Chain A
């Protein structure tokens, strides 16, 4: 694998919903500072994998180790305290707080001052929060309510929130979903410069192949709950199985794996 001691080590991870094996025994690792893209067609199990790594879903089997520490069974907030930040597919921020207060909230939580009832929250490490906003290009809008921002700006604020406690690992679920092509590139370029500077590793899922091939150091491909390929972008681009999954072969994927099943109907 890529680095001597991986930051994140996922092995034998599985999750079923009813009879459907959404994720079926996958293994991968992530080195410090690495940008790893998790791609695959709709229904491949990307979101399920993602939600298991951040603690929202409990896997049926397998292990997830961060710097050797077992993360299975921990709540999302406990995992965050171990240094895992995240952004959501549909950006989630605090609508009734201003932009800078959103970031301050993350700083307050990181410093374990959530139950302080006397001091004023609006003065709490405001300069540090503004500096983070500066880095994502949102300092000019620091005192606007988050509810009035354009969506692309909300995504930037979310990135600043996620970076507030200097995470070792950043999880991004379709970071550019719902954005215009220009905005997408800006956001990913920004993300890349931020994480490279701080040595933060990133695991992200993404539908936009432009983004994936431009920014990922390495790509793993999921199809029907299994990892079918992994490697550098160029290798993945040329991988026949990946091409089949994405573009089809004239046959369905199912018929390809089980070569002789006669005329199986296409999967829904």
Chain B
């Protein structure tokens, strides 16, 4: 009886959690449906919702003021959303999907630091809701009445939004735009206001979801990324743009988590499985399974390809004399760097970080640019390479040199396995599935204390004696990174690289001339994983330690930012982007507490002013010069 009671209590708890998750996911889904923007900042609106509600309730008092405060918080964040849409997003609707992502990610950074500045780094727990602070007995157990209230809220909001979408003119427009926004524009609807309104509504729903959690969970600065991760999963599992799908997915995931907690530690055939530890990965497991079985989510439909696509990429050209000269000068100065900067030893340390980042970003660019596969979980292979090398040295007692060879292989094998599933999908769904795999890898590293050292990671991962000094290790890194980047470049000019670009340009045509698109993509994915793993192994030995941070979603995003910053359509782009990003990160972080906001601002400026990336911009200028000369 008691087991049943605790089971029911967990199920109800899950239902209460599902409500807020649904609110966030519903907003995200609405925004995606109409604007086709995958809004990374949606978790930030949720976080803002809790913070603003905390302040509003403190200001308005406990009685009716409490509920007023929650409503006010949601509306205020809705207005913030509208402003964000008008100032930033409106300028980039025609930009490639990835730039929009980058812009919304910049917003995440800015909002996070704004919250840090206003509310500080301390966790803030709000007061209990007036009248709902107590609990009700259910099967002999006390169950918080506020949780029961939350359980009712989810379906209520679902119903209200459904009414809004089906019974009003605004709703009709939203549904029409979700199906075909070009057509809606062609019918004379003012899309600008429609988009703003939808974005504001989405932000409002997210903030409401946050505000409602005020008495249940403390406001903190990590909520943005944890929430957006969960919300992405819900939207993708439910099917992009489907509200009932989002509700079902939110329920499914919240209940599976609840069941995992209830099961706790269980012995299955002599093997001890800790189900409560599974909660970190359960949503991503669900997503991986759903995407493989139903690639468009439970209630989703295949996305119609957009009619307006970006300008086609220019054909690849082998470097001319100028490029070769620049590359030669660059390599020579890199070789000369340590003796030149002997008085400032930190330069070589930073240079190692930059080189590792260059290889990591170049490997991501390999599948993202020419391969057309936008991986959101590339850190998985970086981390696998790092952990692979570290574990081989520490646990298996292998020499460092062997670990440096086998570490990348571990990552490559990981990419072969994850890639097999991922290449079955395209676009946003592929991005989300790669993210899911990375999160699963992260959760395993985070929790498998006996092997990975859990949240502390592994220490004492040092290079062999002959490579121990910073200078020696710098030259090792330089050699391997240059070789790796050169090999990746060489492959892009090979028949395989051409096949990858052909598959990206037109899968239909590629198939009609005998190219197995999925297989080409799979091989490309594995190669990218291998080289990301090499970057990870180099990273582990350069730091002497490794932590789960190295395969966290933040690391994946860093790589995306590097590639886009440099320019996804140029081969030098990832190297330029990685260098600038790593240097900026280092410089800004040393000078201010608010480095994230500055980074975000810089990213926004770049996206709005240089949408082709730094290297792309330089190439444009050089090409324009060359053309002008040719005309004369």
Contacts and interface: CB of A to CB of B under 8 A. Distances in A.
Interface residues of B, number: 32
A145 B314 contact: yes
Contact of B505 (A76, A97, A109, A161): A97
B623 interface: no
Contact of A114 (B490, B495, B509): B495
A88 B505 contact: no
Contacts of A80: 512-514
Contacts of A116: 494-496
B338 to A, nearest CB: 32
Interface string B307-325: 0000111111010000000
Interface string A68-100: 000000011100110001101000111111100
Kindly name the residue among A86, A93, A96, A121 whose own CB sees the greatest number of chain B CB atoms within 10 A.
A96
Interface residues of A, number: 41
A85 B509 CA distance: 11
Contacts of A108: 495, 498-499
B315 A117 contact: no
B156 interface: no
Given A96-B315, A97-B498, A105-B502, A115 B514 contact: no
A92 B499 contact: no
Given A94-B502, A164-B513, 16 more contacts: A77-B513, A77-B514, A80-B513, A94-B506, A94-B509, A96-B505, A97-B502, A105-B498, A108-B495, A110-B513, A114-B495, A117-B491, A119-B494, A121-B498, A145-B312, A161-B509
A96 to B, nearest CB: 4
Interface string A102-142: 00111011100111111111101000000000000000000
B593 interface: no
- Interface SS of chain B: helix
Contact of B509 (A81, A92, A122): A92
Contacts of A88: 508-509, 512
Contact of B494 (A117, A145, A161): A117
Contact of B499 (A105, A145, A161, A162): A105
A94 B505 contact: yes
Contacts of A117: 490-491, 494-497
B434 to A, nearest CB: 23
Contacts of B313: 95-96
A75 B497 CA distance: 23
A86 B501 CA distance: 20
B490 A118 contact: yes
A49 B153 CA distance: 52
B401 interface: no
A147 interface: yes
Interface in B454-473: none
B315 A110 contact: no
Contacts of B516: 77, 114
Contacts of B449: none
B601 interface: no
B493 interface: yes
Contact of A97 (B315, B490, B513): B315
B523 interface: yes
Interface in B300-350: 311-316, 318
Interface in B491-545: 491, 493-499, 501-502, 504-506, 508-516, 520, 523
18 contacts: A54-B512, A77-B516, A88-B508, A94-B502, A95-B505, A96-B313, A96-B314, A96-B504, A104-B498, A108-B495, A109-B499, A114-B496, A116-B495, A117-B496, A120-B494, A121-B494, A122-B318, A147-B311
A196 B501 CA distance: 33
Nearest to A103: B513
A34 interface: no
Kindly name the residue among B494, B516, B520 whose own CB sees the greatest number of chain A CB atoms within 10 A.
B494
A81 B514 contact: yes
B495 A96 contact: no
A95 B312 contact: yes
Nearest to B313: A96
B513 A121 contact: no
B467 to A, nearest CB: 29
Nearest to B487: A117
Contacts of B515: 77, 105, 109, 114
A238 to B, nearest CB: 37
A8 to B, nearest CB: 17
A101 interface: yes
Contacts of B510: 94
B298 to A, nearest CB: 22
B335 to A, nearest CB: 26
A114 B498 CA distance: 8
Interface string A135-156: 0000000000101000000000
Given A92-B509, A161-B509, A145 B493 contact: no
Nearest to B493: A120
A103 to B, nearest CB: 10
A72 B123 CA distance: 64
Contacts of B509: 88, 92-94, 158, 161
Contacts of A115: 495-496, 499, 523
A105 B499 CA distance: 7
B514 A92 contact: no
A89 B316 CA distance: 28
A145 B316 CA distance: 10
Nearest to A81: B514
A164 B499 CA distance: 16
A178 to B, nearest CB: 16
Contact of B312 (A81, A119, A121, A147): A147
A147 B491 CA distance: 23
Contacts of B490: 117-118
Contacts of A93: 505-506, 509
Nearest to A105: B502
B513 A105 contact: yes
Contacts of B493: 120-122
B495 A121 contact: yes
B495 A98 contact: no
Contacts of A81: 514
A96 B312 contact: yes
Contacts of B496: 114-117
B497 A121 contact: yes
A106 B494 contact: no
Contacts of B523: 115
A92 B508 contact: yes
Kindly name the residue among A98, A108, A110, A161 whose own CB sees the greatest number of chain B CB atoms within 10 A.
A108
B506 A92 contact: yes
Nearest to B520: A114
